[in-house]
């Protein structure tokens, strides 16, 4: 049984972002890169599924510039994945081409019994790659999954929907599962795991050899800007009645929301 996990390296949420001079994207210099938090749930669920199915293997695959993307694979291998697959690709590869490349590599590796991803990447927040992978591979899929189990002919998942409600879906055969927070508690990479990860197989693919045309890109980004600086906070002094009167005046005269 082959279990694949598609993961992404994203800027740490505490990293100070700088925009490139031509406003074409984010300046990667000095950025601390980490595994996308939702992908951690995907890796953990894949490892748990392997543990419940002796003989299964977990393959983690990512796409991005080789110089930095290798690190996120090593993190997943240290958590317990068996083998890493790296697609060396340009920084500006869009979601459509990313999904196509990931699907092509999975096909070249013999296909998957189940594919795990995170429900969304916290950098672009588009939440589309998992669905497109499923389409390229003609597999059923479910997103925002908070509970997962194997059934006689496929999988049963519980997913979060609007209003705090839950939806239960039966998926037949191989499927793509996009993990949500709450699916599990991701394990930390132990020191023995980190040492073992250095000896595990890391297979490389060149994006240019996967038969994906540059014209296939569906999205181009431009005009990146940082949000405006927040104005300094105002402290209102005096007793409660004075504070209320001052606040109402500020909301009416300065904020103009009354």
Per-residue tens of pLDDT for the chain, all 258 residues: 999 999 999 999 888 888 888 887 788 788 889 999 999 999 999 999 999 999 999 999 999 999 889 999 999 999 999 999 999 998 888 999 999 999 999 999 999 999 999 999 998 888 899 999 999 999 999 999 999 999 988 999 999 888 888 999 999 999 999 999 999 999 988 888 889 888 898 999 999 999 888 778 888 777 888 888 887 888 899 999 999 999 999 899 988 888
CB crowding 99-123: b at 16 or more within 10 Å, else e:
bbbbbbbbeebeebbbbbbbbbbbe
Backbone φ, ψ for residue 177 (5° rounding): -120, 120
Choose among 58, 61, 62, 54: nearest CA to 46. Answer: 58
- The domains found in the chain, sorted by start residue, are 2-216 (3.40.50.620), 228-258 (no CATH)
What pTM, to 2 d.p., does this model score? 0.85
Choose among 207, 202, 208, 209: nearest CA to 71. Answer: 202
């Amino acid at each position: 049984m082959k279990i694949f996990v598609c993961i992404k390296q994203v800027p740490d949420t505490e990293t100070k972002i700088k925009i490139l001079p031509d406003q074409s994207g984010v300046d990667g210099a000095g950025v601390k890169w980490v595994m996308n938090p939702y992908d951690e749930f995907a890796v953990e669920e894949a490892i748990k599924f392997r543990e419940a199915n002796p003989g299964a293997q977990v393959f983690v695959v990512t796409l991005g510039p080789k110089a930095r993307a290798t690190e996120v694979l090593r993190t997943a291998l240290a958590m317990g994945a068996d083998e890493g697959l790296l697609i060396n690709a340009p920084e500006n590869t869009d979601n459509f081409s990313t999904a196509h490349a990931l699907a092509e590599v999975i096909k070249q590796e013999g296909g998957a019994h189940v594919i795990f991803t995170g429900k969304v990447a916290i950098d672009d927040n588009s939440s589309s790659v998992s669905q497109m992978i499923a389409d390229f591979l003609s597999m059923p899929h479910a997103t925002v999954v908070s509970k997962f189990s194997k059934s006689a002919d496929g999988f049963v998942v519980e997913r979060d929907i609007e209003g705090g409600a839950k939806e239960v879906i039966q998926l037949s055969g191989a499927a793509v599962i996009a993990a949500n927070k709450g699916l599990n508690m991701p394990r930390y990479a132990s020191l023995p795991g980190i040492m073992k990860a250095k000896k595990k197989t890391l297979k490389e693919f060149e994006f240019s050899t996967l038969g994906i045309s540059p014209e296939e890109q569906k999205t181009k980004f431009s005009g990146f800007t940082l949000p405006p600086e927040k104005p300094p906070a105002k402290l209102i002094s005096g007793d409660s009645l004075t504070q209320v009167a001052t606040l109402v005046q500020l909301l009416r005269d300065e904020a103009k929301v009354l």
